[in-house]
């Protein structure tokens, strides 16, 4: 029930964020046309890209809920990771666009209506803060990626507000491209963090923040387990880890083996291991002997 409620809240937050982002995009297009502000029009394009990215995240979550099939035994969980990779690259593209627009504004400054520019940017800032609050704190990779998109939008709104105030007070427009480049740097750093984690999952690295030696020690602490070897530990998708291992035990009683298997899985729950394959052996296999030689 708690997991279902969490998924419902996650989708609801994304839907609200999509709606707010789309409204801000339309408001900034109108504000950019009325004020003559390239900054607002550029930020509107940024909002449009982020709305698409948020839709991608929501779509990935919905698809991932589909049940496994005989030909897709793990279901569609990896769709979430593919969406996270797409989001990460979109963030990098957005950063490049911001830098190019900022450089263009250095050489082609223009007069803008700073009052309209400030008003539209202020409304956008409030809406982005609401969306960011809805998405903040989730451990889901796609929701975190969506949060970074909204965070980038929030920083863009702040930059436009600062630029509008500066233009109104001094008539100088160089501050707008400077702040644009700063935003692009922040977004790029965040996007590489998302991509690093997503590719780590796709390449089936061990889950971040979990020491596999701790997992093995927990498994070997179960009475009747002599050793654990040939361990493969990876992440299927955020919050679902997978483990395969060979369990060496001298106990040949089938009932005792079932009890050991159940106890081991109880130990594995704290590592968010949602699927485990435990192969019991009464004689050490070649993998075990090689592993033991390497340890010695």
119 SS3 class: helix
Q: Which of 131-145, 152-166, 233-247, 263-277 has the lowest mean pLDDT?
A: 131-145
- pLDDT at residue 295, as a whole number: 47
- pLDDT at residue 91, as a whole number: 79
Band of pLDDT at residue 193, cut at 50, 70 and 90: confident
CATH of residue 241's domain is 3.30.70.1350
Q: What is the pTM of this model?
A: 0.67
pLDDT digits (tens, 9 = 90+) for 103-126: 887 877 767 778 888 898 898 888
Average pLDDT over residues 55-75: 72
Q: Is there a domain that residue 207 lies in?
A: no
- pLDDT at residue 18, as a whole number: 86
CA distance 247 to 265: 12
Q: Is there a domain that residue 56 lies in?
A: yes
Dihedrals phi, psi of 258, to nearest 5 degrees: -65, -40
Q: Are residues 219 and 194 in the same domain?
A: no
Band of pLDDT at residue 290, cut at 50, 70 and 90: very low
In terms of C-beta density within 10 A (0-12 exposed, 13-18 middle, 19 or more buried), how is residue 11 classed?
middle
Q: Are residues 62 and 188 in the same domain?
A: yes
Q: Are residues 89 and 46 in the same domain?
A: yes
Cα 84 to its chain centre, rounded Å, is 6
pLDDT digits (tens, 9 = 90+) for 217-274: 999 999 988 889 889 998 887 668 899 999 988 887 888 888 999 999 998 988 888 7
Which residue range forms the structural domain that includes residue 218?
212-295
CA distance 30 to 116: 10
């Amino acid at each position: 029930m708690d997991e279902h409620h969490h998924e419902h809240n996650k989708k609801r937050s994304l839907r609200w964020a999509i709606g707010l982002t789309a409204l801000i995009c339309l408001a900034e297009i109108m504000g950019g046309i009325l004020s003559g502000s390239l900054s607002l029009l550029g930020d509107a394009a940024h909002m449009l890209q982020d709305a698409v990215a948020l839709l991608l995240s929501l779509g990935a979550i919905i698809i991932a809920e589909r049940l496994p099939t005989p030909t897709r035994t793990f279901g569609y969980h990896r769709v979430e990771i593919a969406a996270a990779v797409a989001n990460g690259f979109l963030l990098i593209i957005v950063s490049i666009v911001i830098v190019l627009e900022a450089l263009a504004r250095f050489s082609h400054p223009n007069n803008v209506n700073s009052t309209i520019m400030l008003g539209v940017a202020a409304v956008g800032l409030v809406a982005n803060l609401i969306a960011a609050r809805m998405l903040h704190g989730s451990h889901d990779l796609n929701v975190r990626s969506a949060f970074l998109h909204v965070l980038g939008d929030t920083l863009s709104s702040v930059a436009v507000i600062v630029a509008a105030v500066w233009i109104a007070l001094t008539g100088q427009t160089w501050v707008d491209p400077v702040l644009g480049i700063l935003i692009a740097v922040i977004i790029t750093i965040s996007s590489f963090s998302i991509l690093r984690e997503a590719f780590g999952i796709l390449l089936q690295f061990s889950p971040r923040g979990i020491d596999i030696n701790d997992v093995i020690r927990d498994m070997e602490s179960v009475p009747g387990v002599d050793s654990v070897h040939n361990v493969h530990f990876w992440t299927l998708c955020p919050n679902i880890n997978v483990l395969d291992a060979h369990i060496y035990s001298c106990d040949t009683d089938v009932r005792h083996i079932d009890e050991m298997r159940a106890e081991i899985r109880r130990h594995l729950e704290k590592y968010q291991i949602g699927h485990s394959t435990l192969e019991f052996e009464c004689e050490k296999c070649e993998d075990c002997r090689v592993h033991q030689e390497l340890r010695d």
